Structure 1
Amino acid sequence: MADHQKIPIPTVKLGNQGLEVSKLGFGCMGLTGVYNSPLAEEDGISILKDAFNKGITFFDTADVYGAHANEVLVGKALKQLPREKIQLATKFGIAGMGPDGMIVMGTPEYVRSCCEGSLKRLDVDYIDLYYQHRVDTSVPIEDTIGELKKLVEEGKIKYIGLSEASPETIRRAHAVHPITALQMEWSVWTRDIEEEIIPVCRELGIGIVPYSPLGRGFFGGKAILETIPANSFLAGHPRFKGENLDKNKNIYIRIENLARKHKCTPAQLALAWVLEQGDDVVPIPGTTKIKNLDDNIGSLTVKLMKEDLKEISDAVPIEEVAGDRTYDNMKKASWKFANTPRKDNKV
């Protein structure tokens, strides 16, 4: 595999509204916990600077990550980097967890207060890409996007994104203000968006930002080559538990065998599969380790032909993947349930 310092990371247009980003982004969530213990602040800043110095310019955070701590960390890293060369994405909409699952809010007042809070924590004048993290199914999407449109007009955000939105919601949102990007879970073992969501995005000129492109680290060896910490979000994840994990190990072995054929790591093969899904696809793997960052960048050198992509897909039959992609108490916040009330019966 080529040395990471010699691997150029191309830039691509994300959506058709003018946003240009590095073809590989960086998901910042794990820097403040969730999968592992939080990194020390200086270590988190160091890995973000290292990612930038290696050509990654697209950084993804959210107000809910680390209960605001993630945005603060990213903001401190930005102070040591050229802001104008970075595409900063953050998200609003998850207000917490209740007894019935995720609490999601999308009222205009909440949108504005969240944006003001993120700008302050990040200590920036504007956010490049501002996503609705989850869709509030009690508020017409027109109301939520209408407020985001005002924030664009005020210069506080440059582009609008959605995450885990249904096809109908995407269309209705896009009619109010062009949507630049849709962030969805997409990996070789999570492909449910391919039938409906991807075609809608391509029809409307919306970029696709896959989160968890390595299957929440599974294809990097999580639960296979390294033990999951007891405090990890993954400890109770359906795909990483008991019989499900035993079955899914067979999938890992198949990808491992194919990776050997392509002279790369399983993580690189899984990430290369996502990268090759189109020029409008920009995955955002996260990591807390420099060696994994270098491994991810190395995936850009893995060249896959059409028949290779099919071989990889066929090695992971979706019906054989054991366990849901998310927890039961978070399922109702996924795109399949993300329609919102009609606005004045006009839409």
Structure 2
Amino acid sequence: MASSAVEEVRVPRIKLGSQGFEVSAQGLGCMGMSAFYGPPKPEPDMINLIHYAASRGITHLDTSDVYGPHTNELLLGKALKGGIREKVELATKFGVKIEDGKREIRGDPAYVRAACEASLKRLGVDCIDLYYQHRIDTSLPVEITQNLPRFRTENMEHNKNLYERVNVIASKKGCTPSQLALAWVHHQGNDVCPIPGTTKIENLNQNIGALSVKLSAEDMAELESIASAGIKGDRLPPGFDSWKTSDTPPLSTWEAT
């Protein structure tokens, strides 16, 4: 996709939920700026990236207290100064507590209040626009591993073949595989907002370009047929995909302290 075409795209707005809350149709995941994908990136560069994203209409910024931990929220706090806060929708998360190198899922009210107050302080704001639970507390210990199931040897070749099929479609559409993936998400409806993360302005522009990728019913059907072949391996290690085991005890069992 030509860079000139990318520059012309203005990110539209969508509504999340039923209460009129509006965000940019594509967000910016900020995790990789501070954690998990290599060493933290230079703060001035990341602040510049966040400001640039806002100028392009990407105003839905997503972070979490566990990114770093804490350092990503501190970075966002610096980036939000100088009037930027009023131009963006700020999302952060709670629920994963790391202490003495151990990871714990927490969802009790006292912890949530303390976590929220700490996030407000790090972000330097008095209001968080979207505050949600990062992982569901099922009162079970979380197993930790850096070995993602989809990239294990026994799954890699199968998943690589699926990627190659997607890549062929992307070539036909004149876009990158990542743009095609984002376009597929956008085509799920105007109430769906992907939040791809990046640490580079050129990649941010490429992500915005996904908004210009139009998929026909035939394109969608072909992508669905590839997906139906089944990706081998879970996206995350055991204990992280908490939506799979999200049943919680009944309210009647809770005794407030």
Query: Structure 1-normalised TM-score?
Result: 0.67
What is the alpha-carbon distance in structure 2 between the residues aligned to residue 123 and residue 241 of structure 1?
41
Deviation at 1:24, TM superposition (A): 0.2
What is the alpha-carbon distance in structure 1 between the residues aligned to residue 151 and residue 100 of structure 2?
24
What is the alpha-carbon distance in structure 2 between the residues aligned to residue 88 and residue 255 of structure 1?
33
CA contact (8 A) 1:62 1:70 kept: yes
CA contact (8 A) 1:102 1:329 kept: no
How has the CA–CA distance of structure 1 residues 312 and 81 changed in structure 2, closer, same or farther, with 3 Å as cutoff?
farther
**What amino acid is the match of 1:106?**
G
Q: Secondary structure at the match of 1:328?
A: coil
CA contact (8 A) 2:149 2:233 kept: yes
| Corresponding residue number in structure 1 for 2:107 | 106
Deviations 1:14-63 (A, max 9, x none): 11112100000011111102022210111111111111111100000000
Deviations 1:68-107 (A, max 9, x none): 00000011001144322210000111012899x8511111
CA contact (8 A) 1:12 1:20 kept: yes
| Corresponding residue number in structure 2 for 1:342 | 250
What is the alpha-carbon distance in structure 2 between the residues aligned to residue 86 and residue 286 of structure 1?
16
Deviations 1:175-214 (A, max 9, x none): xxxxxxxxxxxxxxxxxxxxxxxxxxxxxxxxxxxxxxxx
Query: Which of 227, 238, 254 is equivalent to 1:328?
Result: 238
| Corresponding residue number in structure 1 for 2:54 | 52
Deviation at 1:314, TM superposition (A): 1.1
What is the alpha-carbon distance in structure 1 between the residues aligned to residue 35 and residue 226 of structure 2?
32
CA contact (8 A) 1:4 1:54 kept: no
Deviations 1:247-266 (A, max 9, x none): 21111111110011111111
Q: Which runs of 5+ in 2 are unaligned?
A: none
CA contact (8 A) 1:63 1:71 kept: yes
Deviation at 1:296, TM superposition (A): 0.5
What is the alpha-carbon distance in structure 2 between the residues aligned to residue 234 and residue 58 of structure 1?
30
Q: Secondary structure at the match of 1:67?
A: coil
Q: Which runs of 5+ in 1 are unaligned?
A: 140-232
Q: Secondary structure at the match of 1:103?
A: strand
Query: Which of 18, 21, 27 is equivalent to 1:19?
Result: 21
Aligned residues: 249
**What amino acid is the match of 1:306?**
A
| Corresponding residue number in structure 2 for 1:246 | 157
Deviation at 1:4, TM superposition (A): 2.4
How has the CA–CA distance of structure 1 residues 16 and 79 changed in structure 2, closer, same or farther, with 3 Å as cutoff?
same
**What amino acid is the match of 2:64?**
A
CA contact (8 A) 2:105 2:139 kept: no
CA contact (8 A) 1:25 1:285 kept: yes
Query: Which of 41, 44, 61 is equivalent to 2:43?
Result: 41
**What amino acid is the match of 2:163?**
Y
CA contact (8 A) 1:271 1:299 kept: yes
Deviation larger for 234-243 or 46-55: 234-243
Deviation at 1:309, TM superposition (A): 1.0
How has the CA–CA distance of structure 1 residues 318 and 77 changed in structure 2, closer, same or farther, with 3 Å as cutoff?
farther
Query: Which of 47, 63, 66 is equivalent to 1:64?
Result: 66
Q: Secondary structure at the match of 2:169?
A: helix
Deviation at 1:338, TM superposition (A): 1.2
How has the CA–CA distance of structure 1 residues 304 and 76 changed in structure 2, closer, same or farther, with 3 Å as cutoff?
same
CA contact (8 A) 1:138 1:341 kept: no
Deviation at 1:286, TM superposition (A): 0.2
| Corresponding residue number in structure 2 for 1:285 | 196
What is the alpha-carbon distance in structure 2 between the residues aligned to residue 37 and residue 345 of structure 1?
43
Matches within 5 A, 1:179-198: none
CA contact (8 A) 1:29 1:61 kept: yes
CA contact (8 A) 2:34 2:40 kept: yes
**What amino acid is the match of 1:289?**
K
Q: Secondary structure at the match of 1:62?
A: coil
> Sequence identity, in percent?
51
What is the alpha-carbon distance in structure 2 between the residues aligned to residue 112 and residue 82 of structure 1?
26
Q: Secondary structure at the match of 1:76?
A: helix
CA contact (8 A) 2:135 2:240 kept: no
**What amino acid is the match of 2:118?**
G
How has the CA–CA distance of structure 1 residues 138 and 316 changed in structure 2, closer, same or farther, with 3 Å as cutoff?
closer
What is the alpha-carbon distance in structure 1 between the residues aligned to residue 76 and residue 233 of structure 2?
33
**What amino acid is the match of 1:125?**
D
**What amino acid is the match of 1:41?**
E
Q: Secondary structure at the match of 1:3?
A: helix
What is the alpha-carbon distance in structure 2 between the residues aligned to residue 268 and residue 253 of structure 1?
15
